[in-house]
Amino acid sequence: MKTILYIIQKEFTQIFRDKTMLPIIFLLPVIQLVILVNAATLEMKHIKMYVVDKDLSSTSRQLVSKFDGSPFFHTNEHSFSIDEAERQLKNDKADIILHIPKGFEKKLIKDNKSKIQLLVNAINGTSAGLINAYSNYIISDYNNQVIVEWATVSARKNISRINITNSYWYNPELDYNIYMLPGILVILVTIIGMFLTALNIVREKEMGTIEQINVTPIKKYQFITGKLIPFWIIAIFEFAFGLTIGYFFFSVPVIGSLWLLFGVVSVYLLVVLGLGLFLSTITYTQQQVMFLAFFFMLIFILMSGIFTPVESMPDWAQKVNIINPFTYFMRIIRMILLKGSGLTDISKDFISLGIYAMIAISMSVWRYRKTT
């Protein structure tokens, strides 16, 4: 036990001695958290609409005013030429074209139906889907308004009004920051744990100090434990600090148990620290370990469900995702913070993380070559 404590003391001394490393560990993650939570969003708040109103009737103007009254659309451009509108769409000066043909109101009065056209810039499929959904909602709302206003007095008596009250569970205000901050926090804590742990041992290889440790009677498990615990403590502190920022600055709720949350974090960090240690045992330079760590981090992040649900991925991707620790922890942290889930609710993912942690650390101890 004394041997492990001495190694831990050495690691903390080495970490705090490096003045350039301290801002990277404690300052940069906070800055990244504040910036990324506000930047990484799928909300559409400034949709540029180009209106081609060839009817110029009171009905068409009311429809356009519906879009003007929405906080999502900005109808700054008007024209009578659909060709000009399409040029603006191709030049990325417009996100959507609302084309109201001539005779729109006349057909609506005469035939009780009429057509309009929506042209959406679909380079970004996700954005196009949201724009289309917003537009259809506004058009549907206006259609219901027209039905009520144009119906005869006798018909109005027969119209039954349906009042719908929406209640959004776990995120009543649909605040995207509440959804994104736990995911961003997972990424930052993982980067701190995996990268710093991997770089630490490789740096000792490059400096030659690893050889001095190898000739000592220190056992492999003692060396691995002594290397792992300091960064485990630092990552726990980073997580707690990031969670505090999220609570006070972004109003992220903490509905579930903090004890359960930090228990899960402790196990998850064993996974990422074990992976970092394993990468450091199979590489010899910092450049090699950076490339390997970036390779796995990129795949894990994109498949973790931080932006899109895992359930929407292809079947083969969901099966491959079983080996992705990000997915388990991303789901657990959102369930505990936002839904107040208990241990029974997260037991399956928690057990998977525990198995992953044992495998990662065992591989690190096995792969570390100690020569005397």
Q: Taking Cα atoms as reference points, which of 297, 315, 314 lies closest to residue 306?
A: 297
The mean-pLDDT minimum among 11-15, 212-216, 284-288, 302-306 falls in 212-216
pLDDT band at 348 (very low <50, low <70, confident <90, very high): very high
Distances (CA, A) of 46 to 92, 93, 94, 247, 248: 13, 12, 11, 27, 27
Position 50 scores a pLDDT of 92
Residue 11 vs residue 64, higher pLDDT:
64
> Does residue 37 contact residue 184 with C-beta atoms inside 8 Å?
yes
Residue with the larger pLDDT of the pair 368 and 191: 191
Percentage of the chain lying above the pLDDT 90 cut? 16
At residue 346, does pLDDT exceed 90? Answer: yes
How many angstroms separate the Cα of 305 from the Cα of each of 51, 182, 242? 36, 12, 20
Q: 143 CB contacts (<8 Å, ≥6 apart)? A: none
What is the band of 343 on the pLDDT scale with cuts at 50, 70, 90?
very high
8 Å CB contact between 194 and 297: yes
Give the integer Cα–Cα distance in Å for 300 and 193. 15
Residue entry with tokens 């009250």: 165
Segment 100-139, tens digit of pLDDT: 999 888 888 887 788 888 999 888 777 788 888 888 888 8
CA nearest 299: which of 187, 189, 188, 193? 187
pLDDT band at residue 214 under the 50/70/90 scheme: low
Tokens 């259809």 map to which residue? 136
What average pLDDT does this structure show over 56-65?
Answer: 88
State pLDDT tens for residues 23-60.
Answer: 777 777 778 788 877 776 666 778 899 999 998 888 88
List the beta bridge partners of residue 97: 50, 119
pLDDT at 76 over 50: yes
Are 364 and 278 in contact, with CB atoms under 8 Å apart? Answer: yes
What is the amino acid identity at position 131?
I
Q: What is the pLDDT of residue 31?
A: 81
- How far the first Cα of the chain sits from its last, in Å, is 21
pLDDT for 244 beyond 60: yes
Edge-to-edge strands, sheet with 96-100: 73-79, 47-53, 96-100, 117-120
The reported pLDDT for the residue numbered 354 is 93
Mean pLDDT lowest among 139-153, 266-280, 337-351: 139-153
- How much helix, strand and coil, in percent to the nearest 5, is found in the chain? 70, 5, 25
Least confident stretch, 19-33, 188-202, 238-252? 19-33
The predicted structure's pLDDT at residue 287? 84
**pLDDT reported for residue 349:** 93
Tally the residues of the chain: 372
pLDDT in tens, 286-329: 888 888 888 888 888 888 887 777 877 888 888 888 889 989 99
**Residue-averaged pLDDT of the chain:** 83
Structure confidence by residue, pLDDT tens digits, 130-173: 888 888 888 888 888 877 776 554 455 555 555 666 667 887 77
Q: Is the pTM of this model over 0.85?
A: no
User: Amino acid identity of 35?
Assistant: I
Q: Predicted confidence band at 268 (pLDDT cuts at 50, 70, 90)?
A: very high
- Residue 332 has a pLDDT of 93
* 292: Cα within 13 Å, side-chain hemisphere: 20
Residues 6+ apart with CB under 8 A from 355: none
Share of the chain above pLDDT 70, in %: 91
* Amino acid 42: pLDDT: 65
Q: Which domains does the chain have, with CATH numbers?
A: 2-40+173-367 (no CATH), 47-158 (3.40.1710.10)
